[in-house]
Structure 1
């Protein structure tokens, strides 16, 4: 595939290159911001995963869908975690909504979140300390029955190191749950460089099903289940329409999201996918 030039529509207006890796079938954002500069690209009131704001109809719908999906995610974690314990780590936990749901399901929860303001909100919701990323290196081996990363893996700077860390800290019988956008979906191929889920430079990596399988197989882990996130096609199409025309155009976005989900019924290439991963 050809490389793609994509603009940061949220914060800086800068352009970045998506460079294709033929072996892994994935894109890498280049240049990747330095670790000290990367947080500045998240400084936007529109980055709603770090806030609980409901300033308009769009944000209200976003939070309604997120609340609905929390119970679905929790049921998925319950179903695919075979370990006897109930210790879950949510990496990139944002404002703590998934952890709060897991707490209601009587899970022993831990959370990691790099954004200080989001950590504060999450701590207030869960009454536990939410850690920054430095805490991950201090976790003992085989500590968690379940590890979740809901739209987080695409953000981590050191991808293969992160996956090796996940392998180390999950119990041998535990499960890892990864949700990421899928650049092979219909909405991605339709909007091309305007596809909102490219979200450069916050998204440093852009995955296909093959790339997730290959990356985890290097750590002797396997994908045992892949599930769709059907709401993402509509949400991403709304933002993509805004990139395209300056307006969200909900009718066009709903149509494009519907078409994307319809085509994915045959191709399995949904806008976003959840991968359930276990030790091989």
Structure 2
């Protein structure tokens, strides 16, 4: 088990591996107490243990302050709008070049809807889901429909040609069940695109426990390409391929992660960082 287990309050829990259910684990990093990043000794997957119980985490996601919090969520999500739009705009062009656009689009976890807005010219019909009510209201102006809730709130008979979830899977407590539920809404021959932080990248190796994607309490799963493709194959996807996903960030945000203070005149500058996230496209059965 690695380190001895400490007594937890009723809001937290220890858990087995979310991928293979094995109990064996070893500690990779100690984060802010009581959180640790552990590695499953059976399959090698990395996850948060202990973690906030799911019902308490869902309360945080539903709170309107999640997109403007100093503790959990985003310090100021709208401050990142320009960088996010640049990122999404470039990635959608990558999707288009790979023949992954067109038809109907579903985005899981839309935030304020910036991806849906940037995708306007590339899809005939755009739908999203969002747990935060205020964010869902804001995102609705950028889509044909935004549902306040999660994928379980989608009508089972609605089908989409492309489903995208960007920076969502790392929040999910039951990843296999989650993806299998999403598959209900994917047309045969459809595409599922998942973007998630890459624990196998050089940023994590360099920054170790200070890696920004070790975000407590909400990031509970940490994928590399091997573990993400393996999960998709468990769920019935036959093909999975990587796509480039450079990410733009406000210089002020990057500097803060490194405990630096940029010159005032450069704070709003956006910079591109490579290899921060995985982008995997999985094809459904034809």
Contact 1:238 1:249 in 2 (8 A): yes
Structure 2 CA distance, aligned partners of 1:237 and 1:201? 20
Structure 1 pair 274/87, CA: closer, same or farther in 2 (3 Å)? same
For structure 2, list consecutive stretches of 5 or more residues without a partner in the other structure.
Answer: 1-25, 264-270
| Deviation, structure 1 residue 78 | 3.4
Number of residue-to-residue matches in the alignment: 245
Aligned 8 A contact 1:18 1:30 in 2: yes
Residue 29 of structure 1 and its aligned partner are, at CA, apart by 1.0
Aligned to 1:168: 184
The alpha-carbon distance between structure 1 residues 159 and 124, as it changes in their structure 2 partners (threshold 3 A), is same
2:170 matches 1:151: no
- Structure 2 residue corresponding to 1:115, chosen from 120, 123, 132: 132
1:278 to 1:92, Cα distance in 2 relative to 1, 3 A: same
Query: In the alignment, what sits opposite 1:99?
Result: 116
Return closer, same or farther for 1:107/1:74 CA change in 2, 3 Å cut-off. Answer: farther
Of 47, 69, 73 in structure 2, the residue corresponding to residue 28 of structure 1 is: 47
Residues 36-55 of structure 1: pairs in structure 2 closer than 5 A:
36-39=55-58, 41=60, 43-44=65-66, 45-46=68-69, 47-48=73-74, 51-52=77-78
State the Cα deviation string for residues 50-91 of structure 1 (Å, max 9, x = none).
842xxxxxx3xx3222122222232334344569x6111000
The equivalent residue for 1:10 is none
Deviations 1:155-198 (A, max 9, x none): 12221111112333212211011001111211111111111111
Query: For the aligned residues, what is the CA RMSD?
Result: 3.0
TM-score of the two chains, using structure 2 as the length reference: 0.74
- What's the counterpart of residue 3 of structure 1? 28
Matched, 1:73 2:91: yes
Q: Which segments of 5 or more consecutive residues in structure 1 lack a partner in the other structure?
A: 8-13, 53-58, 251-256, 262-269
1:126-165 deviation digits (Å, cap 9, x = unpaired): 3634331164463227x11000001111112221111112
Counterparts in 2 of 1:226 and 1:238: CA distance versus 1, 3 Å: farther
1:50/1:95 contact within 8 Å kept: no
Q: What is the alpha-carbon distance in structure 1 between the residues aligned to residue 85 and residue 243 of structure 2?
A: 18
Taking the aligned partners of 1:109 and 1:234, their CA distance within structure 2 comes to: 27
**Cα displacement (A) at 1:96:** 0.8
Distance 1:233 1:108, change over 3 A: closer
Q: Sort the Cα spacing of 1:222 and 1:2 in 2 relative to 1 into closer, same or farther, 3 A.
A: farther
The structure, 1 or 2, with the larger RCO (C-alpha pairs under 8 Å, 6+ apart) is 1
Secondary structure at the aligned position of 2:191 is classed as strand
For the 8 Å contact 1:123–1:129, the answer to whether it is kept is yes
CA deviation after TM superposition for structure 1 residue 93, in Å: 0.6
Contact persistence 1:87–1:145 (CA under 8 A)? yes
More helix by share: 1
What's the counterpart of residue 87 of structure 1?
Answer: 104
